[in-house]
A and B are shown apart, each in its own frame.
Chain A
Amino acid sequence: MTGDADVIDALVGITPRSSLDAIRARRPEARAHAQATYRALFAPHAVGNIGLHERFAIAAFTAGLHEATAIATIYVERLVETGASAELKEAIDAAVTEARTRGPYGRYPIGPLSREDSPGPVYRVGPVIRRALGRRLAAAFEHVHMLVFHPRDAAAVALQALVDAGWSTTDIVTLSQIVAFLSFQIRVIAGLRVLAAHPAPPTDTT
């Protein structure tokens, strides 16, 4: 992905004057600001405490957990452009393989919803991958897995684990936005791809 090309258009394969181009043009603010969110998270005016390599690593892991291969590839390419090591790239792949499951699952507050509890795995980064990721990214990946697959298990204690690994309050907001935005971007792309591949039958004009 080069320059400021619209990521969703590019990954759905939307070309000018196609029917999906016209549909997206009817929601111009959503189209422009989905892209503006991408810029805010991945080409920010100030990177603050979260390095670009961390942002792309988190995005690549998030997309990998969604089995969204083409999207994951974009973020891995951007990660490599930041000068990230081959070791980090391999660690992300290994983490995706180790952490992948199906969601959403999780527990509810004790009460009538308890009958809907569906417990599932809590991801802890393995020792070899942890060494390659470092303490900060390892803590982030454990949090990302919860956000992707079992967000209703979220608890204040999970945020403390991030704080302990060096994530500030503002960093945690941005980390959460990266994962939450990717959860949106991946689904818009997945949904619009299906729609693009199955256009409405031509209207009968007789």
Chain B
Amino acid sequence: MTGPTAFTRAELDWLPWLEPLAVDALTERHMASLVDVARAKSPYFRLLARDPDTLEARTRTDKDIFYNTDGGLPRAERELAATATSRFNGCLYCASVHARHAATYSKREADVQHLLDAGVTADLGERWNAIVAASVALTATPSAFGPEHVERLRQSGLDDLAIADVIHAAAFFNWANRLMLSLGEPTVAPASG
């Protein structure tokens, strides 16, 4: 069992460092906190289910930021912001999942891979560069996000709802990265078949 040593779009596994709840120990409250029943299979979500109220609110926040398609930023670019944030913080697992989503929705596999390989200064074209730069500035501690980022996003054609979506997507991955990085580790999934 080995961990990945480079950013990848390949499927990774994630192994918890703390004991998740056992599948047969999940109560109705725990199941409700997972929101999707299928998540009972995931050791990550069964670990977070130890604090079910927080997990449920976290998950519902996540879903609205990334899946609510009432205007704003296209899905692909919300995933781009998530990938850029994860690349900058150094979360190989989160980056792998959201790079796959970004590539799927945008059909720009080469650009997404370039972001993973070269890092957050990769040239991806001005609109994507603006989204990556804004995500990275907001991810820095303390935040380096300023009016110049808002202006550059506007110049790239984003309206204020889309800019708010960039802010929320990058902010959310500062939440997700810290859980994924600190409660377990990614491993290279065994070849299927």
Contact = CB atoms under 8 A, between A and B. Distances in A.
B19 interface: yes
B89 A27 contact: no
A28 interface: yes
B67 to A, nearest CB: 10
Interface string B155-181: 000011101111110111011111101
A30 interface: yes
Task: Say what secondary structure dominates the interface of chain A.
Answer: helix
A154 to B, nearest CB: 4
B115 interface: no
A65 B182 CA distance: 18
Given A29-B63, A29-B64, A40 B57 contact: yes
Interface residues of A, number: 69
Contact of B4 (A45, A109, A147, A192): A109
Given A111-B6, A151-B178, A36 B145 contact: no
Contacts, number: 200
Given A29-B61, A176-B178, A112 B6 contact: yes
Interface stretch (A79-87, A128-136, A177-185): A177-185
B51 A174 contact: yes
A195 B140 contact: no
Question: Top 8 nearest A-B pairs by Cβ distance?
Answer: A111-B5, A191-B167, A152-B90, A29-B64, A187-B171, A40-B53, A36-B57, A184-B175
